Amino acid sequence: RETKKTIHIGFSQAMSSDNWRKEMEKSMQVQASLYPRVELEIKSANNNVKSQIEQIKDFVEAQVDVLIVSPIKSKPVTTAIENALKAGIPTIVIDRKIESNNYTAYIGANNVDIGEDAAKYILSGIREESTVVQITGDIASSPAKERQLGFESVLKHSKKVKLLATIHGDWEKPSIKAPLNKLLDSVNPDYIFAHNDRMAIGGWEVLQQHNIQNQVKIIGVDGLYGPNGGIQYVKDEILLATILYPTGGAEAIDLAVKIVNGEFVNKNNTLNTVVIDSVNVDLMQNQFNKLVEQQNDIEGQQEVIDEQVRAYQSQNSMIKLMIGL
């Protein structure tokens, strides 16, 4: 009997602490389970650039068939990825970019578009002059740089919306609370645009402290479903809107398999985004519920198959014992 070679995919994840990353990993695992030959190994760098560089080296040494990396920061991870490619390992960059073109494929949404969409959304909803405070993610990671670029490029051409201030966060809530708290002593914005929903909720908590949570409209990014996800916050009218930032986990696995099979893949693969607000939030929630049901079905079926394989294997060894093999 011919045994087909397994496809070893190594994924170096920036961190696994937040739900967006957990969702990315889950969708990768579910997608990987659809390919019998794929073995997916996930290592999380816990937001530590040095560990991420080490992990990439380890995967190169292990000679994985495909490496997937979601870089913590763009610049410091660039050389590690270039070296992986030099060592002959096809490398997919996901979500956050590196500062070079030396990778096999990139997959992620267009973050400049996300920034532009946020600004256009504000512009389309106002009658008179309005003001906004921007809260960025870690500016050393490409999504923050690009969201800021897109947002400001639209506002530059508009006389109706004034950008009062930009606070630089690190993607997590605690990083923005003190600076926003201080800022709100002197300014009174109509809008807050935060580069992700976690910081957006941090913003809302600070607004509550100032008792102005009903006066300031908040727009976030990510649009996760489930409890503490952006979709629920839009439904609860805590966020005015959120912009969907798909994780691309499933698509990255498909790309990896295509690369191993020698099929053509595009170098840059752009995922779609959409603004989620009160108009379409129910529709989006329904779509995600269906998707989650499907994922759970697949996982359930996988368990049944695993169980059958185990039963088969133990019967097989029993028979071998009985016939003295």
- Which stretches of the chain bind ligand FRU, using CB under 6 A? 18, 20-21, 95-96, 137, 141, 143, 171, 196, 198, 221-222, 245
CB of 21 to ligand FRU, least distance (A): 5
Please say which residue, 51 or 302, places its beta carbon nearer to ligand FRU.
51
For ligand FRU, which residue has the nearest CB? 196
CB of 247 to ligand FRU, least distance (A): 9
In sequence order, the 6+-apart residues with CB closer than 8 A to the CB of 165 are 133, 134, 183, 187
List phi, psi (to 5°) of 56: -65, -45
Please say which residue, 91 or 111, places its beta carbon nearer to ligand FRU.
111
In sequence order, the 6+-apart residues with CB closer than 8 A to the CB of 272 are 109, 246
Please say which residue, 65 or 222, places its beta carbon nearer to ligand FRU.
222
Please say which residue, 151 or 171, places its beta carbon nearer to ligand FRU.
171
Q: Which H helix or E strand runs over 281?
A: helix 281-322
Helix and strand tally (H, E) in the chain? 10, 12
CB of 221 to ligand FRU, least distance (A): 5
Q: Which of 126, 119, 193, 129 is nearest to 151 (CA)?
A: 119
Judge residue 15's burial from the number of C-beta atoms within 10 Å of its C-beta, 0-12 exposed, 13-18 middle, 19 or more buried: middle
Please say which residue, 38 or 229, places its beta carbon nearer to ligand FRU.
229
Helix 19-33 / helix 249-260 crossing angle, nearest 10 deg: 40
CB of 318 to ligand FRU, least distance (A): 48
CB of 198 to ligand FRU, least distance (A): 6
Size (the chain), residues: 325
CB of 189 to ligand FRU, least distance (A): 22
Please say which residue, 53 or 260, places its beta carbon nearer to ligand FRU.
53
Cα dihedral 106, 109, 113, 114, rounded to 10, equals -140
CA distance 48 to 38: 27
- Which residue in this structure is represented by tokens 């759970």? 296
CB of 182 to ligand FRU, least distance (A): 23
Please say which residue, 224 or 257, places its beta carbon nearer to ligand FRU.
224
